Structure 1
Amino acid sequence: MIERADQLVLEFVSKVADAAHGRLRPEQRLDYVQRLRASVERARGGSEDARHVAKVIAGFGTPDDLIDREIRRLAAAEHAVQPTAHQAAQPVGEDDTAVFPVVVDDGEPRRGVPPEVADYRRPPPGVSHGRRIARERISRQADRPAPLTRLRRAAMAGGNPMATGGRDARTIFLNNRRETLALVLLVVAGLLVPFRLATVAIFPVPGIVWAAAALTLLSCQGWSFSDRLIGLAAPVVAYAVGGVLLGAARSEGGGVQAFMVSFHNVSGVLFILGTAAAVSWLAFRLLDPPP
């Protein structure tokens, strides 16, 4: 199985989260993992190349080194805040005026409050970054809606989010190009059946295309072996078994010639139906693979 770029990122972030267990508080651990994931995605630049993503991840260092640097950063930040906390703990004299800090979401100043009086409390960096990304995505979708959004959402309605990583059907098919090629060849083999094409030697053209789809399908790693057998057997079984049964029923004991005519009339349609069933099953298993 070829490692996917998204899987490399998730595995790296999971290892860092495991290394932070017991060394950072839960809220610190969650905030750091979110900021690290965002940093990796920015450095990755949207690349789907597993080798490039592996090089990007290697540049961040080992999980233990990352946690050590985060602990030192938190210690330095806490040390810098201690003088301010010490001043706030001093008792207020009779001639002093008590000033209460102003807590404002996202650090936005309140109207009428001088900057030297207001104590602006900012959310953690990971929260601010997540809010900024959410605002950008909402504004981008409002300005330019993506084409076929409803169709793509419908295709992913039954998808497993842990297996798909939250991606849509288009991304999954692009990341599984060999599997997509096998599905396309199966569809082409079914679509060529109604056309009366000349045979190549003694082989019909749809059969040659199906053979190419079979070879491609057997070399795919995105499906289990049983799923690949189902995808290959469905058109053949529908063509052979269904054609024989329906041909015999339609010929009504009219002899071999009548049976062959009936078989020829119904077997092509059954092959198309079997191909449609195989493609539907394989596409479903690719979008929502078994655990």
Structure 2
Amino acid sequence: MIERADQMVLNYVSRAADAAHGVLRPDQRLDFARRLRARIEAERRGSQDARDVAKVLTRFGDPVALVEREARRLAATGPAATGPAATGRRGVGSVVRGRPRDLAALVVLALAALLVPVGLPAVAIFQVPVLVWAAGAAAVLFSDTWTAGDKLAGAGAPLFGYTVGGVLVGGFQAAEAGPAAFVVRFFEVSGVMFMIGTALGVAWLAYRLLDVS
């Protein structure tokens, strides 16, 4: 399994290097392949699971497109400060066009946080923001874009903020007032902590979704 995962990376980088032949100068081609391999290894984060590596390579996209983008970058003559901004816009545009379901999952998670202060009536025993969060979390978990760790961090951050954040903040502020005061304070702050957790989770998933040079 380890050899298979490593071979997948080597094959991908080799395809990119082959595509760069005749497009980039030899020194540029070597530097491009080296940086690409380093970026893949950073995204891979030591995983030896072939499925995780395949997801990482999928996020990088077509090697030919990477070579074309590198050629455009090298050919650019504008101010250096405009380069990163242009690259970022291309990355966001690519995500919007290619990952609509993943973006929809992020929107649903964000909507769950926005509904917290609205105060909608509960459905059965469940608060509406919790139900919306569950739908967004399910969409994230069933996606084949993020790794298992990314999914756990992004989808679990709102719930973590609600429970752990609510307990810590509420308990700290009502430590000397007794259990009843703690319960009251927990429900006062847990919604805010849920919103903070959601913002952090969505930001992390969005960051991982982008192919940042």
With normalisation by structure 2, the TM-score equals 0.59
Match of 2:211 in 1: 288
Q: CA-to-partner distance for each residue in 1:181-221, whole Å, 9 max, x for gaps? A: 11001100010011111000000000000000111011111
Q: Retained in 1: the 8 A contact 2:105–2:137? A: yes
Residues 1:256 and 1:154: Cα distance change in structure 2 (over 3 Å): farther
Secondary structure of the equivalent of 2:140? Answer: helix
Matched, 1:156 2:63: no
Match of 1:214 among 118, 129, 137: 137
Q: Retained in 1: the 8 A contact 2:91–2:212? A: no
**What does 1:34-113 correspond to in 2, within 5 Å?**
none
Q: Percent identity?
A: 44
Shift of 1:233: 1.6
Structure number having the greater helix percentage: 2
Amino acid at match of 1:222: T
Larger of the two Rg values belongs to structure: 1
Higher relative contact order (CA 8 A, sep 6+): 2
**TM-align CA RMSD:** 3.2
Matched, 1:273 2:196: yes
Matched, 1:263 2:195: no
Match of 2:27 in 1: none
Q: CA-to-partner distance for each residue in 1:137-182, whole Å, 9 max, x for gaps? A: xxxxxxxxxxxxx9x938828xxxxxxxxx3303312210111011
Matched, 1:192 2:115: yes
Secondary structure of the equivalent of 2:116? Answer: coil
The gaps in structure 1 that reach 5 residues or longer are 1-10, 28-133, 135-149, 158-166
With normalisation by structure 1, the TM-score equals 0.44
Residues 1:250 and 1:154: Cα distance change in structure 2 (over 3 Å): farther
Shift of 1:289: 7.0
The gaps in structure 2 that reach 5 residues or longer are 1-11, 24-74, 76-81
Secondary structure of the equivalent of 1:156? Answer: helix
Q: Retained in 1: the 8 A contact 2:91–2:211? A: no
Task: Determine the C-alpha separation between the residues in 2 that align with 1:240 and 1:272.
Answer: 12
